[in-house]
Amino acid sequence: MDQTKIDVLRAQPLSAFTHLIDGKQVPASDGGTMDVISPIDGQVITTMAAGTAADMEAAIASARAAYEDGRWAGQPPAARKKVLLKWADLIEANALELAVLGVRDNGTEIGMAIKAEPGSAAATIRYYAEALDKIYGEIAPTPGDILGLVHKEPVGVVGAIIPWNFPMMIGAWKLGPALAMGNSVVLKPAETASLSLMRMAELALEAGLPPGVLNAVTGEGRVVGETLGLSMDVDVLVFTGSGGTGRRLMEYSARSNMKRVYLELGGKSPNIVFADAPNLDEAAKVAASGIFRNSGQVCVAGSRLLVEAAIHDEFVAKVARAAEAMRVGDPLKVDTHVGAVNSEEQLKANLGFVEIAKTEGGEVVTGGDRILQDTGGYYMAPTIVTGVTRDATLAQKEVFGPVLGVTPFETEGEAIALANSTVYGLAGAAWTSNLGRAHRMVRGVRTGVMHVNTYGGADGTVPLGGVGQSGNGADKSLHAIEKYVNLKTAWIKL
Ligand code: NAD
């Protein structure tokens, strides 16, 4: 990455962002705007439309009309594929611009953002574009006088609500399969990270997606998100975000048209290190990056370190060294390891968790503080707290910040019991050289993803979804397509 190019892009003034409805950029119906504050320095960098319920209703009506007249769903698969492939190419061609815009908005370090945001989004769109003409219906094994067919039909209008940590990557996880299967989509980006996703949506139109097939409305979740959730004209809601909002979406569904709701929620993922791990130095470095990259604002972050008691002190010292070696700071510098916390509110919440941990007997080994305050931005030192007991707040509640809680264990059984002692079940890892133990951990720990001798990095070929209060349904892989189709049976007497 070229630092000079990044510096040029970051200096560019931004014009006001509007909604994308029916193929047009439109302001809020009442003219309302919201300031976009950069977490890099706390400065206002632009404004975006503060959507109203009427704006969201217009977007849903546009998506419904686009679906019903078949301008997208009715196109031959090869034609839809061509548009989506072009969209992926455009995202890639504009990768640096999109990444810098996203970082100015949400604070992720550019080294991670360039890969995880436009890089991953383009790969995801391409994956589903390539898949869409390889998905067949079925012929059922019926008696000879019957032909039983199972069609896979688009669901209609999909509402997609996206969080702030990786807007393009997570947005593409929903948009790729939804659009590939012929649906129309109404997108609702997060208040504190809308810009890059809005640009990405505009690129879809440039690639040839017909107007109205993808609409995007910015604004408050409690206003436009709620209208989307309560709509009688939305067939499926897909969401990544917090458990609290996930619960509301289920209520909205129950109060309206009982639309299907798929939730990708938070986690308290255990990273479990046994004394027989193949390489403790490597495990320590990965444990640090597995929680501290993107300031811990990663749904699968390994936020609980469970360490075999025999190596506890030695291993914690290694992780602390790795944490202290991470450069925290301006996320638009190519050599920064950890960028800014997304918002002042999130930073305060993170610091609050550290204070609670101290009152519950935790010991802060490194970090614990806000840093670089003179920049005006929101930065927090990578923080490690030892002595976190099974029921402590830090072991039970998701921080979504750069805070690692450490708990020792004696036996494999105890490690599994600790790992399974939260309401969550998103991700986890086990570090061991014992093959049998590795498989027992994969089977025993209740999560959607278990890593062995690594942490994170699972690509688009495998599903990501939680169990328990980490959610339902899966993003990524061909399995994600199931969320965006209805099965229809044709039972034909011959
Ligand atoms: P959030 O729930 O506050 O917001 C997510 C989205 O929901 C935003 O677009 C917001 O505007 C919208 N929203 C808020 N209130 C709403 C309402 N009443 N009705 C409809 N929409 C509403 O979550 P967040 O703080 O943006 O994201 C962080 C959370 O997301 C963390 O808990 C994290 O673990 C989780 N997350 C999970 C995954 C995963 O794949 N499981 C991935 C990333 C983040």
Please tell me the distance between residue 387's alpha carbon and the centre of ligand 1 in angstroms: 30
Give Cα 243 distance to the centre of its chain: 13
Task: Please work out whether the CB of residue 264 comes within 6 Å of at least one atom of ligand 1.
Answer: yes
Please tell me the distance between residue 275's alpha carbon and the centre of ligand 1 in angstroms: 37
Please tell me the distance between residue 242's alpha carbon and the centre of ligand 1 in angstroms: 4
56 to 19, 20, 179, 366: CA distances (angstroms): 9, 11, 19, 45
Name the residue with the closest Cα to ligand 1, atom 23.
241
Q: Are 289 and 305 in contact (CB under 8 A)?
A: no
Task: Please work out whether the CB of residue 159 comes within 6 Å of at least one atom of ligand 1.
Answer: no
pLDDT (0 to 100) of residue 29: 98
Q: Which residues contact 459 (CB under 8 A, 6 or more apart)?
A: none
> pTM here?
0.97
Of the candidates 117, 191, 264, 412, the residue annotated as catalytic is 264
**The two structure tokens encoding residue 432:** 């061991």
Catalytic residue status for 299: yes
Give Cα 227 distance to the centre of its chain: 22
Task: Please work out whether the CB of residue 245 comes within 6 Å of at least one atom of ligand 1.
Answer: yes
Question: Best of 108, 217, 228, 242 to mutate for ligand 1, by most ligand atoms within 8 A of CB?
Answer: 242
Give Cα 393 distance to the centre of its chain: 24
Rounded distance between C-alpha atoms, residue 246 and residue 424, angstroms: 13
Q: Which residues contact 258 (CB under 8 A, 6 or more apart)?
A: none
Q: Are 313 and 321 in contact (CB under 8 A)?
A: no
188 to 224, 459, 470: CA distances (angstroms): 8, 25, 21
Q: Which residues contact 321 (CB under 8 A, 6 or more apart)?
A: 284
DSSP 422: S
Atom of ligand 1 nearest to the CA of 267: 34
| Rg, C-alpha atoms of the chain | 23
Atom of ligand 1 nearest to the CA of 241: 30
pLDDT (0 to 100) of residue 303: 98
> For tokens 């919440």, what's the residue?
349
pLDDT (0 to 100) of residue 1: 84
Task: Please work out whether the CB of residue 261 comes within 6 Å of at least one atom of ligand 1.
Answer: no
**The two structure tokens encoding residue 94:** 């504009």
The tens place of each residue's pLDDT in the chain, 494 residues long, gives: 899 999 999 999 999 999 999 999 999 999 999 999 999 999 999 999 999 999 999 999 999 999 999 999 999 999 999 999 999 999 999 999 999 999 999 999 999 999 999 999 999 999 999 999 999 999 999 999 999 999 999 999 999 999 999 999 999 999 999 999 999 999 999 999 999 999 999 999 999 999 999 999 999 999 999 999 999 999 999 999 999 999 999 999 999 999 999 999 999 999 999 999 999 999 999 999 999 999 999 999 999 999 999 999 999 999 999 999 999 999 999 999 999 999 999 999 999 999 999 999 999 999 999 999 999 999 999 999 999 999 999 999 999 999 999 999 999 999 999 999 999 999 999 999 999 999 999 999 999 999 999 999 899 999 999 999 999 999 999 999 999 999 999 999 99
Please tell me the distance between residue 245's alpha carbon and the centre of ligand 1 in angstroms: 6
Rounded distance between C-alpha atoms, residue 319 and residue 402, angstroms: 13
Sign of CA dihedral 121, 124, 129, 130: positive
Residues shown for the chain? 494
Of the candidates 226, 299, 398, 412, the residue annotated as catalytic is 299
Amino acid letter for position 61 = A
Task: Please work out whether the CB of residue 306 comes within 6 Å of at least one atom of ligand 1.
Answer: no
Rounded distance between C-alpha atoms, residue 431 and residue 428, angstroms: 10
Please tell me the distance between residue 185's alpha carbon and the centre of ligand 1 in angstroms: 18
Catalytic residue status for 97: no
CA angle 451, 453, 455 (to 5 degrees): 50
Atom of ligand 1 nearest to the CA of 346: 25
Task: Please work out whether the CB of residue 99 comes within 6 Å of at least one atom of ligand 1.
Answer: no
Please tell me the distance between residue 455's alpha carbon and the centre of ligand 1 in angstroms: 23
Q: Is 370 exposed, middle or buried (0-12, 13-18, 19+ CB in 10 A)?
A: middle
Task: Please work out whether the CB of residue 299 comes within 6 Å of at least one atom of ligand 1.
Answer: yes
